A and B are shown apart, each in its own frame.
Chain A
């Protein structure tokens, strides 16, 4: 079906708001998208969870191993259902007309009104996307329908109290979670540590009596391979509003995820990336508001949960 003028116009305004939106996509900082699963209309992704092989055979060179049992990778089928996140809006027609040059919609005069509407809507979509990547999607607040990295973490410490206002507590928390990941059999070279701004800003302000910044320490803890052999420090602290935090009690959750560009442990399915739509009313279009929407379709995917860890009793209070 041929695109309408408004669909072409939507593609024209997309670069105006998508690039400014990128810094808000914190969820995409901790996981990489799978480039092979892309397209409109994907509602189920059938994938496999890989269970690793057993220990190898050790023997002297001259023996053959025909008599020994052969191993294989075990597969557990998993269905990942991507969700569409949509923010619809309406643009008053007279305002829209005022912002374009004599109704020539290809030549905006100054500020592009539609792009501003789209950016504002997209920011809300981005927040929901971040929330789904970090927390998962639970329409009733407790029963998860789509697992996020926090809800699907391999190990979650729910009781150990960490007081991030005190020096060395955030580093200790990260080190404990890395130990939990190592105990579960995963050993990533670097980690990202995601926090709500309430906790992040607390850690950022903590300094020891000797003048050592907590944040510097924490980043070193997150990069064990870099500290060991001098490779670049790629693991870092991520700040996002959607991570759990109660501003009254000052208690929240933190999430440790592997830096995983090869998508060994975690990945994202971005089946439809950010896109805007504009549409005139079906009858009397010159007199009725334009309808628009911004949407994307995505799902986080945990391939091996043992590389993820979380803590839910993290407080900003000092001891």
Chain B
């Protein structure tokens, strides 16, 4: 069964998970099905790799004079300054 990392939400008081008493912000592993029953208490923690990807996606692309621009209408690659 796939295990997923979860973090106890900040507004939650205490959770008992596998006999351990966890407070706000603590991270633990449980099954995927666990989330459906407990989504008001926990948030899933994304793997570090996915977080990095998410950060990269939000960055503005560097613009240069010769950067190719894709025409939205035809999907052709055109260059600035040319008809």
Contacts and interface: CB of A to CB of B under 8 A. Distances in A.
Interface of A: 135-136, 138, 141-142, 144, 147, 150-160, 180, 184, 244, 246, 251, 253, 305-306, 312-313
Contacts of B43: 142
Contacts of A152: 11, 13
A246 B39 CA distance: 14
Counting contact residues on chain B (CB < 8 A from A), the size range is 10 to 19
Contacts of B13: 152-156, 305-306
Contacts of B36: 246
B37 A312 contact: yes
Nearest to B22: A158
A150 B11 CA distance: 13
B interface, over-half SS: mixed
Contact of A313 (B12, B14, B37): B37
B16 A144 contact: no
Contacts of A180: 16
B17 A141 contact: no
28 contacts: A136-B40, A138-B40, A144-B40, A150-B40, A151-B12, A151-B40, A151-B41, A153-B13, A154-B13, A155-B13, A155-B16, A155-B21, A156-B13, A156-B14, A156-B41, A157-B15, A157-B16, A158-B16, A158-B34, A159-B18, A159-B19, A159-B34, A180-B16, A246-B36, A251-B37, A253-B37, A305-B13, A312-B37
Contacts of B11: 144, 147, 152
A313 B18 CA distance: 12
A134 B44 CA distance: 24
Contacts of B34: 158-159
B71 to A, nearest CB: 38
A136 B30 CA distance: 24
